[in-house]
Amino acid sequence: MSPTGETGTSATPPRANASNQGGSKLESTPNSRGASVVSENISLVGVQVKEVWPWIQRDIEQAKQCKTDVMLQALLQRASCAPETKQPELLQKCLKGVLPVCNGRVSAGGISSSGIEAALKKYVCPGVENDFYGPFIDATNIGLACLEEIKIDGMRAPVSAVDMIFQQNDMPMYQTHQTARSIRKPDIVILPLKSACASFQDDNGSKTGKQKDKRKAAQEDDQKDDTKDGQKRKDHMVKNAKAKAKNLRWKDVLACIEFKRKTKEIKSPPSSYTVTDHVPTKPEHLPVGHLKAEVPTPGPSQTIATQPASDTAPVQSSGLTAAQTSKGGSSSKRKAADTLESTAKKSKVNLDEPDVTVQTGLYAAEMFAANVAVEHLINFIVVDDVIWTWYYDRQGTVQSSGINFIQDLPRFMVLLYALQRFKVHDWGRNKHFLPVEVEGKQCHEFKIKDEELGTVDLLLHTSHPERVTHYGLQGRATNVVPVTSEALTKKYGNFEDGMVAKIFWGEASRTSEPEILKKVEEIAKRHPTVEGHIPQLLWHHKFTNPTSAIREALGVPEPTTGGRVLYILVFRKLHPITKLHGKDLFDVWRQCILCHLILWKEGVYHRDISPGNLMWYRKDGRLIGVLNDYDLSSLANAVGPQGNERTGTVPFMALDLLTEEGQQGKVKHLYRHDLESFMWVFAWIFLRYRQGVLLQRLRPLDEWATLGAIACRKEKSDFLMGFVKYRPPDLQSAMDISLWALLVGCFRVLQAANSNLVDDVYYNLGVEQGLTEGTYEQIDAEETVSDMDDLLGKFTSIREWVKLSKPS
């Protein structure tokens, strides 16, 4: 299964449901500029993680905005005793309730809130960026300790299972994405206290094996002793919270705080605080690229992931979820670019490096990738004395206006007050997926009632090397995980290759993949060319947690546009076409083309032909090709373009669809465009693989994966004009030469098709000028069945196609 998405163009295209300037008609779904040709296809296209950040930036540039009081109200309601009930008075109640903490009149366990003022006075002193981490950590952790004592009607008590704490990091954090490793250094992270303490315990010379064996019992003892818990927090605040933590895991991080120091002089705290209206900061919201001033001091550089990624290698990642681990089941900074190879920081901001807003987005991408079916994330950016809240989910990003946390300390304390009362799932961890350990491996359990099967049990093998995860911010964020299930095995029996679960965020306005597959299955009953060549959907579930809900609460315009809901689908496991070579490669590819033709004629438009969507399985000694992944498909009877997501994977899209008009949805997606995609897929596999293994050296076409649509079109057009120069130097066998000849023949047909289009345009110009007799030819007219057959026939009549189609 191939997660796909969009690379985007340099200008924001109109949305599918937006009015179009000039009255131009949308012929297909436009490309909503997103971050996924690279981020969702690290395993598919062989890119490195360091090439992802420009796509993250495009997502960040589309961030929606809201007022800080609206964001605080939404967070407070989430942390209240009745989160589903609107409580408009919460913010004012909490602003008044935290004033004793702000004014130094609260003590807890020997910690006085007067320490907040002392820490903030240190914070405003001139210095370099690193000097401000400690005072900020002191102010926030003292605030959290004292806020525990504040009781406000309607609000939950602090959540002891989380017990959040601010921890300095500024150390490398590693994570693997389809064999490509990222290294990032967030300044400060918010962690559960136990996670913060554990990183120092493992580093203090203790034997980690014995430590892990004893930790669970020790933690249970701690939970029984509230006094000991308070002392543990106090000890960590004094000894380690301001020290650089080592070996922190992304799956434990609740939030990241990124700092930038721009102003040398910051106004000192006032002598006392009262409840006031919010005073807008300057800037009120933080745009990408706002910080172009000189950086105070250089620091050590940071290097990232030089190991090339595999086209097929999956991610190995584990996840923290909203639930506690189940008992069942066996058991000095200047981030040059996080994702870029870096050199020492210059005195000026390097425009080739990600902006602070993008750096923080990259941290969110790591947090999304480290956990299962994450619903949302929250990160923070601090510039001088202003903090901005950034809310991420798969629909996009929302940033609130800033809070001056020194002059408007009550609002900052209200923010901490809300977060302190967050359960783990309020931080975005999915409470439906329970972490368990099976045979020493991290897995996740999912159980749900089903009308037909009773209880459906899924055991997701999230540590399995074949797990494929998404790396990015918005979009479908498809994860594919090996899965076992007693209920499904009882119904279907054992599959030789097992089953996989596909977890993704589908657009709420689009016809769902299960609905499309139902139509596909009906077609298969009538057509042998389709029967057996489609994925076998075993079970599916749609969650009821739309991403649009938070946008409605925040007053974001058009909150449901691009809204997403979470799906989990279970399929029989298939194998990727990239594992094949020789005649097997041709046979599976051809079977998928023939299946695709019938489906298109029957009104199922796939529209996302890519290597990851062409699969196979073995039956009676024969390889059976499968046209897979229908979550971006559409049905002929659907009215108008569906959803707000561009359909197609850029390196494999038809040239017509990679134009500016095509990316804006003004070019109708026709059968010939999908057929052209099949040709690009075949070229991609044949030129980049040997014997089913991705080439590690002298691998052509890499740049296609990292370019936007317009630039990729130019590269592919150049390839089409001179593809004969790409003949692999190591062709020796007769079969390989036949496949190369087939590829040459296919691209000759594509060249001829483009030439015929030019001829038609020239003919129409003659008619228009009265120089040619005849009638005007309609270009890009609706295709007929005959048109489809004629076009495919030009490929199937290629001599090598005919030869390779004969039984062995």
Report the pLDDT value the prediction gives residue 54, as an integer from 0 to 100: 77
pLDDT digits (tens, 9 = 90+) for 722-741: 999 999 999 989 999 999 99
DSSP annotation string for 674-704: HHHHHHHHHHHHHHHEETTEE-SSS-TTGGG
Neighbours of 210 (CB within 10 A): 9
Neighbours of 595 (CB within 10 A): 24
Mean pLDDT of 501-509: 95
pLDDT digits (tens, 9 = 90+) for 777-804: 666 667 899 999 999 999 999 999 999 9
Mean pLDDT of 310-321: 32
CA–CA separation, 250 and 55 (whole Å): 21
In angstroms, the Cα distances linking 602 to 115, 268, 669, 794 are 71, 71, 16, 21
Mean pLDDT of 303-332: 34
Confidence of residue 229 (pLDDT cuts 50, 70, 90): low
pLDDT digits (tens, 9 = 90+) for 47-70: 566 667 778 888 999 999 999 999
Mean pLDDT of 469-476: 89
Residues 6+ apart with CB under 8 A from 575: 497, 615, 616, 617
Return the CA Rg of the chain.
28
Among 616, 608, 610, smallest CA distance to 579 is for 616
Among 710, 706, 38, smallest CA distance to 362 is for 38
Mean pLDDT of 252-279: 94
CA–CA separation, 654 and 677 (whole Å): 6
| Angle, CA of 122, 127 and 132, to the nearest 5° | 50
3-state secondary structure of 504: strand
Report the pLDDT value the prediction gives residue 301, as an integer from 0 to 100: 30
Tell me what percent of the residues of the chain surpass a pLDDT of 90: 66
Residues 6+ apart with CB under 8 A from 280: 401, 402
Which residue, chain included where needed, has tokens 């483009």? 754
In angstroms, the Cα distances linking 246 to 173, 204, 359 are 8, 11, 20
pLDDT digits (tens, 9 = 90+) for 318-356: 333 333 333 333 333 333 233 322 222 333 344 457 899
CA–CA separation, 417 and 97 (whole Å): 10
95 φ/ψ angles, rounded to the nearest 5 degrees: -60, -40
Neighbours of 570 (CB within 10 A): 20
pLDDT digits (tens, 9 = 90+) for 388-419: 999 999 999 999 999 999 999 999 999 999 99
Confidence of residue 482 (pLDDT cuts 50, 70, 90): very high
Which residue, chain included where needed, has tokens 């300037």? 21
Q: At what angle do helices 582-601 and 671-688 cross, to 10 degrees?
A: 170
Q: Which string of b and e fits 538-551 if b means at least 16 CB within 10 Å?
A: bbbbebebbbbebb
Q: Which pair of structure tokens corresponds to residue 708?
A: 């936007």
Report the pLDDT value the prediction gives residue 315, as an integer from 0 to 100: 29
Report the pLDDT value the prediction gives residue 756, as an integer from 0 to 100: 67
Which one is predicted more confidently, 184 or 54?
Answer: 184
Report the pLDDT value the prediction gives residue 37, as an integer from 0 to 100: 40
Among 368, 338, 358, smallest CA distance to 471 is for 368
pLDDT digits (tens, 9 = 90+) for 528-571: 999 999 999 999 999 998 999 999 999 999 999 999 999 999 99
Does pLDDT of 112 surpass 90? yes
Out of 197-211, 543-557, 703-717, 747-761, least confident range: 197-211
For the entire predicted model, the pTM comes to 0.84
Mean pLDDT of 665-680: 93
Report the pLDDT value the prediction gives residue 330, as an integer from 0 to 100: 35
CB 404 within 8 A of CB 279: yes
End-to-end CA distance of the chain: 29
Mean pLDDT of 583-588: 98
3-state secondary structure of 259: strand
In angstroms, the Cα distances linking 733 to 228, 401, 709, 730, 736 are 73, 64, 36, 9, 5
Does pLDDT of 253 surpass 50? yes
**459, 465, 467, 473 alpha-carbon torsion, rounded to 10°:** 130
Does pLDDT of 167 surpass 60? yes
Q: Which pair of structure tokens corresponds to residue 710?
A: 């317009």
Does pLDDT of 129 surpass 80? yes
Mean of pLDDT over the chain: 83
Report the pLDDT value the prediction gives residue 5, as an integer from 0 to 100: 31
Tell me what percent of the residues of the chain surpass a pLDDT of 70: 80
**Could you check whether the bond before residue 641 is cis, i.e. omega within 30 degrees of 0?**
no
DSSP symbol at 314? P
Out of 227-231, 344-348, 766-770, least confident range: 344-348
Report the pLDDT value the prediction gives residue 646, as an integer from 0 to 100: 53
Report the pLDDT value the prediction gives residue 14, as an integer from 0 to 100: 28
Which residue, chain included where needed, has tokens 């809204």? 563
CA–CA separation, 231 and 440 (whole Å): 33
β-partners of residue 616 are 575, 625
Which one is predicted more confidently, 709 or 137?
Answer: 137
DSSP annotation string for 715-781: HHHHHHHSGGGG--TT--SHHHHHHHHHHHHHHHHHHHHHHHHHHHHHHHHHHHHTSS-S-PPPTTP
Which one is predicted more confidently, 205 or 488?
Answer: 488
Q: Which pair of structure tokens corresponds to residue 437?
A: 């350990």
Neighbours of 688 (CB within 10 A): 20
CB 356 within 8 A of CB 384: no
| Angle, CA of 240, 245 and 250, to the nearest 5° | 130
